[in-house]
Structure 1
């Protein structure tokens, strides 16, 4: 599991987001791959974020 994914439940319901995007981290494609953040996984994460909070932002490689 990606170390930047945050998920859980609070008083308003479920949340699911990416700390890498929230904090504006610039990760290369290689760094993203190393933590399991592949293009396919980003699609899954974005879908889960949209289901949980209505919008989804996932990291894009800084070198591309």
Structure 2
């Protein structure tokens, strides 16, 4: 698989975990961040769906 084919990380270079182990920059958990490089594209897409839901909750 080419690098261009991989699902890109949602990282925005604001890396700080809150009290719930959630990054305040990209809305991924510490575990999701650690495992990102070994995840399949399907797993990454699942995380991105969770990130989108988390972002909606933060916006409320």
Q: TM-score, normalised by structure 2?
A: 0.32
- Please identify which structure carries the higher helix content: 2
Give the TM-score normalised by the residue count of structure 1: 0.31
Of the two structures, which has the highest relative contact order with CA contacts closer than 8 Å and spacing of 6 or more?
1
Whichever structure has more strand as a proportion of its residues is: 1
